Amino acid sequence: MIKQELLDAMNDQINYELESSYIYLSMAAYFASMNLDGMAHWMRVQAHEEIIHAMKFFDHIIDRGEKVILKDVKQLKTNWSNPKQVWDNAYEHEQLITSRINNLMSIARKLQDFTSEPLLQWFVNEQIEEEVNTSKISQQMALIKEDSQGLFMLDAQLATRSFPAGSCFDPTAYNVAN
């Protein structure tokens, strides 16, 4: 059993994590439209990670004998002024998610829900990486400015990020002809 305030906040967080996946897919589509294939790839991997985050809350709620409530995902931004703005937005988004995770931890502690704390601590730790990844790329984009050679070098570097095994976000993992 999970007390209602925390259950509601966790169901909201599932929505935020799924929305995060949708946001990163939208960013992947933008980069693909600009032929920045490495950045598009990085965003697809990130979109997969966000589904995993959503499913961690999904399973926790079910394991605790409660019901998952899925909510609408709102219409998202589909265009940006330039590639750097995308990375700035990604970093801002991760800061928002960090504040939401911290709020979940506060509620869990207030309600003395010790069973939820290990899950939430995992997310507290994960958000360090989520922020550092997007912040670092955003700062690298600031250094690159209008240097197209630097942009393509960073794009090539971001193309090396690995998908989790068998990810349906990995275009090499499925054959559209089948």
Footprint of ligand FEO (CB under 6 A): 17, 20, 50, 53, 94, 97, 130
Separation of alpha carbons 151 and 84, rounded Å: 10
Q: How far is the CB of 147 from ligand FEO (least distance, A)?
A: 28
Q: CB-based burial of residue 63 (10 Å sphere; 0-12 exposed, 13-18 middle, 19+ buried)?
A: exposed
Q: How far is the CB of 39 from ligand FEO (least distance, A)?
A: 16
Q: How far is the CB of 93 from ligand FEO (least distance, A)?
A: 7
| Residue 90 or 151 having the CB closest to ligand FEO | 90
| Residue 20 or 138 having the CB closest to ligand FEO | 20
Q: How far is the CB of 68 from ligand FEO (least distance, A)?
A: 17
| Residue 16 or 31 having the CB closest to ligand FEO | 16
Nearest to 45 by CA among 26, 18, 25: 25
Contact 39, 31 (CB under 8 A): yes
Separation of alpha carbons 103 and 68, rounded Å: 19
